[in-house]
Amino acid sequence: MKADRLLIDCHVATMVEGPVPYGAIQDAAVVVADGRIAWVGPRADLPAVDAAETERLDGRWITPGLIDCHTHLVFGGDRSAEFEQRLGGATYEEISRAGGGIVSSVKATRAASEDDLFASAMTRLAGLKDTGVTTVEIKSGYGLDRETELKMLRVARRIGREGGVRVRTSYLGLHAVPPEYRDDRAAYVDLAIDDILPAAHAEGLVDAVDAYCEPIAFSSDEVSRLFDKARTLGLPVKLHADQLSNGGGAALAARYQALSADHIEHATEDGVAAMAAAGVVAVLLPGAYLMLRETQTPPVDLLRRHGVRMAVATDCNPGTSPVASMTAALNLACIQFRLTPEEALSGATREAARALGMLAEIGTLEAGKAADLAIWDISRPAELCYWLGKPLLNAACRGGKHV
């Protein structure tokens, strides 16, 4: 077998489902050829390999490159002043209704150039990459006009070309009503659905369509119109669902066979059952839960009981989750939501890939998949969820190449 790289003297958490926790292989070997995993298994079973490079890892662990499947990485400015307001007792809803929240980020994002947005996003991406992330989902939604929504999505595509990570984009035009449409929200909904989305799709900027379904955002009827349009364009959908209240978002996501329903702190058992039947992944976002000081946790026990897959993401954004560390998100998912370390790590690998529709390509370490790897200075996989702030990453590879 000819190969580009042979990794030995290592342990591998393949994250393949089965009876072995983490899909772990002790004293393993990984063979990489043409950017893909050619072979992975116990070193004792390693076939004859003619490798251009052999690397001994001194007993380190290899996992799939981590996947942050829900971020708002591209935006202008910050909202640290609102952080102070919330600490003083103001609620997220109060700040939003007073013209803060998403709308304040819209003003800063509209004013920023593409180069400015790219440069600021790359600083946040650095934190994700330093914690093992090799794939990032990036949403629009801080433009809320045609020019700026397209600008954000172009920046996201540029990050995919120049940032050393895989990028999946999501159009989030139904994120908030912009100030200029405050007295005519129906006209903005029309614009977002019938003008901006088709323009972004025609330019090849959209991989999926997202929306924010809440009383302070958009109704089920409005989101349904958007999702119907996405269907006509052949685009998958996902949904910010049931974060602040039970608005039937989980069931709406299931009705459209969404890739994922995200947040879902207030989802009911009926909604969870609908998600299970439709194969919708639950994306848990512990950073937002922490920063908003919420008390209603996602229904993890119901998700387990109904067999709903659970992903974990940072929700990196300027207002409600200024989190740029994937390992911090794993720790918070375990501490706040009581996920096991194996559930959390699965949520940042296999299930995150499923939530992006990319499981055939990434998310587990199996022959034929892309060689997106994270190499860690740890003695067991649970350490990735145990430490908060300790640097653990030794190296990361995308398509077999160090990044």
According to the annotation, is 56 in a ligand binding site? no
According to the annotation, is 72 in a ligand binding site? yes
According to the annotation, is 317 in a ligand binding site? yes
Closest Cα to residue 99, out of 112, 116, 86, 82?
Answer: 82
According to the annotation, is 266 in a ligand binding site? no
- 152, HSE (Cβ side, Cα atoms, 13 Å): 33
Distance CA 4, CA 36 (A): 10
Q: What three-state secondary structure class fits 63? A: strand
- Residue 398 tokens read as 């995308």
According to the annotation, is 175 in a ligand binding site? yes
Are the CB atoms for 31 and 3 separated by under 8 Å? yes
According to the annotation, is 319 in a ligand binding site? yes
Kindly report the three-state secondary structure assignment for every residue of 221-262: HHHHHHHHHHHHCCCCEEEEECCCCCCCHHHHHHHCCCCEEE
Are the CB atoms for 203 and 230 separated by under 8 Å? no
**Locus of tokens 């910050």:** 78
According to the annotation, is 79 in a ligand binding site? yes
Q: What three-state secondary structure class fits 96? A: helix
Are the CB atoms for 319 and 101 separated by under 8 Å? yes
Closest Cα to residue 385, out of 11, 69, 105, 66?
Answer: 66
Enumerate the known binding-site residues for N-formimidoyl-L-glutamate. Answer: 142, 317, 319
Annotated binding site: 70, 72, 79, 142, 175, 240, 243, 315, 317, 319-320
Annotated binding site for 4-imidazolone-5-propanoate: 79, 142, 175, 243, 320
